[in-house]
Structure 1
Amino acid sequence: MACMQLLLLLCLLVSLCNCYRMFGRFSRIPPEPQSDSAVQDQWFEQKLDHFRGADTRVWKQRFYVNDSFTHSDGPVFLMIGGEGSANPAWMTHGTWITFAEKMGALCLLLEHRFYGKSHPTKDLSVDNLRYLSSRQALADLAHFQTVMTEKLGLGKRKWIVFGGSYPGCLAAWYRLKFPHLAHAAVASSAPVQAKLNFSEYLDVVQSSLARNDSDCPNKFKVASATLIQLLNFVENYEKITSDFRLCQPLEINTKMDRAFFLDTIAEYIMDVVQYNNDNREFEGVKTTNITIQVVCGIMANESWGSPYDRYVEVIRTILKATGEKCIEASYKKYVEEMRSSCWEGPAASGGRQWMYQTCTEFGYFQSSDSSSQPFSGFPLSYHVQQCTDIYGNEFNLAMITGAIQQTVENYGGLNIESSRIVFPNGLIDPWHALGINTSLGTDIVAIPMQDAAHCADMYPARPEEPFVLPAVRKLVYELLTKWLQL
């Protein structure tokens, strides 16, 4: 009852679009997946804790199946779910489906624990979130594969795992940790190097913005500096609220309020870069027509006024494309939402869970600490403080740093020791800075994708896509075909 009362209160305070924006820039989750009558929810009895044999608790994990192409000697394709609801659209769309048709593969998609409808615990309390980790997720995959192999009579059919972004990391790590189960892996846009201060993210944003107009990043830098100057005077807050169409009047009472506002506005530009010219319409994403060329075109158009005025116009253009009526930029409200541990809470679609994983495993904090980028005002300390404010005092810099080191030690970071893994990485995508961009041998293959963005190789082909993608898909297919012969 208390959870439902809190939910009703928070629903009065926040707009629906904010739940969507909470995921930040790692793997932006689209709106709730479109229903597909041809793809039905299925459920697997999963262990709660794979690392304590005395714990016999189980829960129901969601998965999907497409057996339209399978034949007895074909492989099994396993798509790994990530930090949001598993989207059934992937069971009929995407590069892996094209491969499955050619190879006669059985296609399975397993939703990640604690996301979507896969609820291992009664709520999202910090005590329960300790069962949320990449290690538990990998063990989920292993148990799922073992049981399904027997249940479906799959015998010795070889399994190939697929994933993009964080699930791309899981794909590589599954092949690393369970080589007897995963025969090969496709790890698209996988930032396998956990890192506390990921200031390089904005370095790549700057270089990507400069591809078509070398002065575009500087215009954003000037606009951002102007915005920071305006924030120094309370009498400007009404103007800023109106300019950026904030949902509530701007209030800056703490350094966290200020940093959160600046980060929130900058995220819109960061997202444009990360997903530049992608093909995510089938997932329900509305912003695929807003590209680097579009935003830099606005920033170059002096008829809009000063660089600050052009920045405002860019944000308004993006809001119109997404259908967002206003921007939630209140740090206080954000923390209130993120602290809610109810499954019905405003951040339970993934925001609370993914932030927990960044605070306890990966870092990945995209700070403005670098001088080679167009924004400022949200340093590393701001990101670390969020962990403390949301989850408690024990989630401090020392704990986070130690957790990240454990992740690197466990998986190897950029020095992964494995085989039969392919790493496609879009060079426009800021996340490629933490990925494997140079092959580590004949069977740990890096594929740098010129002019391509985040997970671009995974999406359905289209005429407007970057010219490199057809060749990338062909190379991945050839590698998998070769590896299946081994």
Structure 2
Amino acid sequence: MTNPFTAIPKEGRIHQPLNHFGIKNTKTFPQRFFVNDIYWQRSDGPVFLYIGGEGPLSKFSVLYGQHSLSLSQNKEIAHFTITFCGHHVEMAERHGALVVALEHRFYGESINPDGLDTEQLKDLSSQQALADLAVFHHYISQRFGLSYKNTWISFGGSYAGALSAWLRGKFPHLIYGAVASSAPVHAQLDFSSYNKVVGRSLMNKEVGGSKKCLTEVREAFAAVEVALLMGNEMQLAKDFGCCETPVKPQDKTELMQSLADVFMGTVQYNEEGVAFNIEELCHIMTNKSEALNQKEEAYDRLIKLAEMYLARMDAPCLDVSREKFVLELNSTTGRSSYRAWLYQTCTEFGFYQTCEDDTCPFSHTINLQSQAELCSQLFNIPQYSLPVNIDFTNQYYGGNRPQTRRVLYVNGNIDPWSELSVTWNDAMVDNDRVILINGTAHCADMNHYKALDKPALHRARKEIERRVAVWLTMQNGTI
């Protein structure tokens, strides 16, 4: 196999219309892309399109290896982003494919020159992103002299996984097959089942969880709530290394969210690069000292976990100021991926990971109101419009019952986002379109092969490779 680091991908910019659907709008923005043609069999080799999501794209989107982790503490929709790369490039080498990747508009360096103010963000949507991909398809086809013989397969993970599925659905004449990893194709306002899966995964013995672990987590958060009710905010701030003392009600909710984010991020990615994995987290939360009673033990272990988390994330303190959070999100300069993504949750997806359900192991103060109100505060989007926006998204794309063929949905069973993906086969549409991987988390299949990967993950990658190979053979007319 070719040394993956000998390839030097080409980086470029394509000038895209800010509004593909406005005839009178002639404004454009520079959209970044990467190309790796080291494996390409130029006559009839396929094209593997890696789709960028809600964060910066890098050259590793067309190379092997895991690029980056970006974790936002104390964010109401628990926005954890890891760039997973490698498996599609390994397949590209075997199939002689041209590998191309396009950064999503309004993320990374593909920012509208006018910034991220609300008026400009009106041009940010999944529909515009799909149109960007269609234009990019045309651009690459012209630049490399492609024809119908060059089969396009799209790849994406998480939101970009949904884009991969939707691109195949909306542009089937351009994309022959699509791999959609951990793709939340069903928009949902109150995503309470996210934390239901977090609780279930913390009990999963196969990944290092236990019923005891979940019990201790519940008791720890109950102890924090009691401390808040008793007015012990200063002690809590000291115990958990808070940047500020959580005196205001909204700051107390921020504290709960920040602590919950440690567990949510751990479960979502588990062994793929966050501060802890589930086994280590549960070991910390169940390592009891006989000198303390049960409730104090759980609380003290949560303190230890928070201390270790801050150290591993190289964070000076735990943000708990709602006012500071809103102020940062109101900044329209720079490249705030979180502001852009929050706008999309308000206008298209929801995805608010609440804790009002009894299955949630954290605090009921993490509710829908505390999250949805940001839409009106930041973008003047009334909360009553959110259900309408989300219903439109599901009507437009088909939700988790899409009527599309040759879309492969890949999910890990401990990933909370699998709740919004397609996890069953539908013989009426395509009886061979689902892979559910036991014991793996968010987008794990997208990384390149590692010796320590679970056997189920190895088998899943082999199955993905088989499906892609079948698609290419079908398109070439061999079968």
- Mean alpha-carbon deviation: is it higher for 173-182 or for 300-309? 300-309
Aligned counterpart, 2:459: 471
Aligned counterpart, 1:30: none
Question: SS at 2:241's partner residue?
Answer: coil
Aligned counterpart, 1:365: 352
CA contact (8 A) 2:246 2:255 kept: no
Q: Out of 62, 71, 76, which is 2:47 matched to?
A: 76
Unaligned 5+ segments in structure 2 are 65-85, 475-479
Q: 1:323 Cα deviation (Å)?
A: 1.8
CA contact (8 A) 1:368 1:378 kept: yes
* 1:87 equivalenced with 2:83 (yes/no): no
Show the 5 A alignment for 1:262-277: 262-277=256-271
* 1:296 equivalenced with 2:321 (yes/no): no
Q: Give the TM-score normalised by the residue count of structure 2.
A: 0.88
Question: SS at 2:361's partner residue?
Answer: coil
Q: 1:383 Cα deviation (Å)?
A: 1.1
Q: Out of 358, 363, 377, which is 1:389 matched to?
A: 377
Aligned counterpart, 2:300: 309
Distance in 1 (alpha carbons) for counterparts of 2:418 and 2:13? 34
Q: Out of 237, 248, 253, which is 1:253 matched to?
A: 248
Aligned counterpart, 2:164: 171
Aligned counterpart, 2:30: 60
Aligned counterpart, 2:189: 196
Matching residue's letter, 1:336: L
Q: Out of 218, 222, 227, which is 1:225 matched to?
A: 222
Distance in 1 (alpha carbons) for counterparts of 2:126 and 2:165? 12
* 1:321 equivalenced with 2:336 (yes/no): no
Runs of 4+ in 1 over 6 A off after TM superposition: none
Show the 5 A alignment for 1:444-459: 445-459=433-447
Unaligned 5+ segments in structure 1 are 1-34, 281-285
Matching residue's letter, 1:456: A
Distance in 1 (alpha carbons) for counterparts of 2:46 and 2:130? 20
CA contact (8 A) 1:261 1:331 kept: no
Question: SS at 2:101's partner residue?
Answer: strand
Aligned counterpart, 1:20: none
Q: 1:327 Cα deviation (Å)?
A: 1.3
Question: SS at 2:30's partner residue?
Answer: strand
Distance in 1 (alpha carbons) for counterparts of 2:355 and 2:404? 34
Q: Deviations over 1:303-354 (max 9, x none)?
A: 2951011111112222222222211111100000001111x2xxx3301000
Distance in 2 (alpha carbons) for counterparts of 1:291 and 1:133? 33
Question: SS at 2:176's partner residue?
Answer: strand
Q: 1:374 Cα deviation (Å)?
A: 0.6
Q: 1:36 Cα deviation (Å)?
A: 11
Matching residue's letter, 2:414: I
Matching residue's letter, 2:340: Q
Distance in 1 (alpha carbons) for counterparts of 2:221 and 2:158? 29
- Mean alpha-carbon deviation: is it higher for 125-134 or for 303-312? 303-312
Question: SS at 2:433's partner residue?
Answer: strand
* 1:207 equivalenced with 2:195 (yes/no): no
CA contact (8 A) 1:163 1:188 kept: yes
Distance in 2 (alpha carbons) for counterparts of 1:268 and 1:139? 36
Aligned counterpart, 1:8: none
Q: Deviations over 1:387-432 (max 9, x none)?
A: 222222xx23211111001000000001101110101101111000
Distance in 1 (alpha carbons) for counterparts of 2:336 and 2:99? 25
Q: Deviations over 1:262-289 (max 9, x none)?
A: 11210111000000112x5xxxxx63xx
CA contact (8 A) 1:418 1:444 kept: no
Aligned counterpart, 2:239: 243
Q: 1:183 Cα deviation (Å)?
A: 0.6
Question: SS at 1:44's partner residue?
Answer: strand
Distance in 2 (alpha carbons) for counterparts of 1:228 and 1:470? 43
Q: 1:378 Cα deviation (Å)?
A: 0.7
Question: SS at 2:242's partner residue?
Answer: coil
Q: 1:373 Cα deviation (Å)?
A: 2.1
Q: Deviations over 1:198-221 (max 9, x none)?
A: 000000000000013112111111
CA contact (8 A) 2:9 2:34 kept: yes
Distance in 2 (alpha carbons) for counterparts of 1:129 and 1:36? 39
Matching residue's letter, 1:245: G
Q: 1:257 Cα deviation (Å)?
A: 2.2
Question: SS at 2:305's partner residue?
Answer: helix
* 1:136 equivalenced with 2:107 (yes/no): no
Matching residue's letter, 2:356: D
Alpha carbons of 1:67 and 1:37: their partners in 2 closer, same or farther (altered >3 Å)?
Answer: closer
RMSD (CA atoms): 1.7
Matching residue's letter, 1:292: I
